[in-house]
Structure 1
Amino acid sequence: MLPAAVDVLVVGLGPGGASAARVCAEAGLSVLAVERNKAFGEPVQCAEFIPNPMGAYAQPDGVLLQRIDAMQSFLPSGAVEHSDFPGLMVDRGEFDRAIIRAAEANGAQLVTSTPLVAVDAERHTARVKHAGAEHEIGYRVLIAADGPHSPVAESLGLPALPTVQTRQYTVPLNKPYTATDVWLSDDYPGGYAWLFPKGQWANLGLGADKRIAGDLKAPLESLHAQLVDQGLLGEEIRYRTGGAIPVGGLRDSLIAGDVLFVGDAGGLTHPITGAGIAAAVVSGEAAGEAAIGHLEGDAEALADYDEDMRDQYGPALDRACERRAFLNEHWRTPRAQEDATQRRGWIAFSEYFNDGDRAA
């Protein structure tokens, strides 16, 4: 049975929504979290990398797969930049489920196969579909953690976030590997290709703006075949996945009345790298704390959440949006195959951070 009303309704149970549900439940609030997919932590739609400061979240059994120590950035000329890039490869499904279990242990009610139908912000109600029937749930705070195509945002009439598409294969890795590989090329306009090792397997994928690139399958299969020929990867494709990544930076506001947006739904994903797990957890926890403060009478708690996230993430996201705009001027032109252009658009290079530097 779904409750008729709760203190906090969380829509979406990725790392952001699960973190918000955990924080609110730990504080004793009544929490219902709804997930449209059939199983928690599935499908996995990311490269599964987290930075070292997120290591505490990799401690539960089954989460940590291997450590990463470097990044190799391949430029159009064939030049390779080697960078220190410490981090952890995780099983993203187990990562999410570990946070979900903590939320449930603290009293949150969590349900799958329950998509959002609509939100009525004036009445503080949401309609969801569960077990074949629609249910109306009253809420005091709603936390939207429902991805780049947020149904909550759509229901509230908020603008859609710009996105790029990704396609990824999980394939055999033929030798121990502790670096992430990144390919910067006009073959992947609006994005890049990647190899993220995870023990005996690796995530091989690419992101691109389909308005420019068209088909993502052909360039990914070409890269896979190239790495098979080099002996690094096996031919088997164990798992295929893909999805959208928001690339426009933060929403104009992360709050809409008593609704808070976290993670991808708030545009917190990095518009150049696509990294979003850490920002989802941090924003989910912060949104949970804001909901607690708001319900305890702090009139500024929700606005403070928006301000804090902008202070923490805004400068990096703004820079990334500027670099995307720069690259978008050059895709499918000879400039896109120049190393100087790609160096300005990728985080491993000093040119990315030099505002006075302009590619000639």
Structure 2
Amino acid sequence: MPSVDVLVVGLGPAGGSAARVAAAEGLSVLGIDRRAVIGQPVQCAEFIPLPMGSYARDPGVFSQPIRHMTTLLPSGASQASDFPGIMIDRAAFDQAIAARARAQGATLWTDAMLLEVDPEARRARVRHKGQEQTITFRALVAADGPHSPVAAQLGWPALEIVQTRQYTVPLTQPRDDTVIWLSPDYPGGYAWLFPREGQANLGLGMDKTLAPDLKTPLDALHRELVQSGWVGEAILSRTGGSIPVGGLRPRVFEGAVVFAGDAAGLTHPITGGGIAPAVVSGELAGEAVAAWLGGDEAALADYQEDLCDRYGPSLERAVARRRELGRVWHRPEAREDAVHRRGWIAFGEYFNDPIVQ
């Protein structure tokens, strides 16, 4: 029965970062991921904010700089906003973080499925490359995404999510902006175009309880952009996934189990941005479990307080704005620019207008 100090479930940016930090603290770390290759398939638009630039220095990660964001409203009016950032190769990004964890001594298993976890006994059953093993651990970091199997094992409620669908398409002319479409055609979300060195990630996110068909509106947007000369007809790849939009979990630890990244509900409920808080929360989780295992009984509670201080106000505002928008989808008000200005981060109304309860 393999035994480790820290078992990390999920090796995206949160899990890889937690594994790296915990291993650097001298702990024995095993990280597992159900995918055969870390970072694949890519299920995001591949944008990171400029302060994350140091994480784009590894070979193959950097794609291109982004200078600003263009937001298109239902009326056709547009707003250009300063929004500097970096387009990355997300698979290379995740793999670079994993490589840093290995360099610190962490053992990482791919093609490893968590079958069962007993948090009281601190035991997990894992199928690794077709063979079942039981792992004992002193602490567990759950970085296993919005449908967290660890949370389900604890009996915690599922996170509220939206679904995304994305095509990679040829880009006909270079761009240094991200483009956002706010429209009643995308209830519960928005559509986007993120340029990547001659290509673009074209996608949308929607609440499937409001509109279960994501393919039809994405295909329509693709045709429109082909006709306007923005992008080519070819679809080079397709992807999609789930994004948590309910905000931070009420608790991000229980016993010896600590949650980070999407599994903790840290993705922004309006923009869907989650890479930066995943990395930060993973690093903080690694530090917290190291301190806790070292005898600091308050370390996990301090970790939760830190996440609340860093992200709580932003996430709470975003959740409130989502509730406001949720009351108008499929109603005439959903075609009013003013409604979307209050519900999107590019506009002052998002921050300054009072929240309508």
Same fold (TM over 0.5): yes
* 8 Å Cα contact 2:145-2:261 kept in structure 1: yes
Q: Deviations over 1:58-95 (max 9, x none)?
A: 00111000000111110000000110110000000000
Q: Does 1:338 align with 2:336?
A: yes
* Aligned pairs (5 A) from 1:297-312: 297-312=295-310
Amino acid at match of 1:38: A
Amino acid at match of 1:24: A
Q: Does 1:51 align with 2:38?
A: no
Q: Deviations over 1:294-337 (max 9, x none)?
A: 11110111110011001100000000000000000000110001
Residue 125 (structure 1) aligns with: 123
TM-score (ref. length: structure 1): 0.98
Please state how far the C-alpha of 1:4 moved relative to its aligned partner. 1.2
Please state how far the C-alpha of 1:130 moved relative to its aligned partner. 1.2
Residue 99 (structure 2) aligns with: 101
The 1-side partners of 2:113 and 2:7 are apart by: 13
Please state how far the C-alpha of 1:354 moved relative to its aligned partner. 1.4
* Aligned pairs (5 A) from 1:164-183: 164-183=162-181
Amino acid at match of 1:145: A
* Aligned pairs (5 A) from 1:320-331: 320-331=318-329
Residue 273 (structure 1) aligns with: 271
Q: Give the superposed CA RMSD.
A: 1.1
Amino acid at match of 1:353: F
Residue 312 (structure 2) aligns with: 314
Q: Which range moved further: 3-12 or 324-333?
A: 3-12
The 1-side partners of 2:328 and 2:342 are apart by: 12
Amino acid at match of 1:34: I
Residue 347 (structure 1) aligns with: 345
Match of 1:72 among 36, 61, 70: 70
Amino acid at match of 2:210: I
Please state how far the C-alpha of 1:356 moved relative to its aligned partner. 2.8
The 1-side partners of 2:265 and 2:80 are apart by: 29
* 8 Å Cα contact 2:15-2:260 kept in structure 1: yes
Please state how far the C-alpha of 1:27 moved relative to its aligned partner. 1.4
SS of match in other structure, 2:20: helix
The 1-side partners of 2:25 and 2:209 are apart by: 45
Q: Does 1:159 align with 2:194?
A: no
Q: Does 1:6 align with 2:29?
A: no
Q: Which range moved further: 275-284 or 106-115?
A: 106-115
Gaps in structure 1 of 5+ consecutive residues? none
* Aligned pairs (5 A) from 1:104-115: 104-115=102-113
Amino acid at match of 2:303: Y
The percent identity for this pair of structures is: 61
- The alignment of Structure 1 onto Structure 2 pairs a total of residues equal to 357
Moved over 6 A (4+): none
* 8 Å Cα contact 1:351-1:357 kept in structure 2: no
Amino acid at match of 2:86: L
Please state how far the C-alpha of 1:357 moved relative to its aligned partner. 7.0
TM-score (ref. length: structure 2): 0.99
Amino acid at match of 2:295: G
The 2-side partners of 1:343 and 1:221 are apart by: 26
The 1-side partners of 2:194 and 2:129 are apart by: 38
The 1-side partners of 2:163 and 2:355 are apart by: 29
* 8 Å Cα contact 1:206-1:220 kept in structure 2: yes
The 1-side partners of 2:130 and 2:84 are apart by: 46
Q: Which range moved further: 36-45 or 264-273?
A: 36-45
Match of 1:206 among 178, 186, 204: 204
Please state how far the C-alpha of 1:133 moved relative to its aligned partner. 2.4
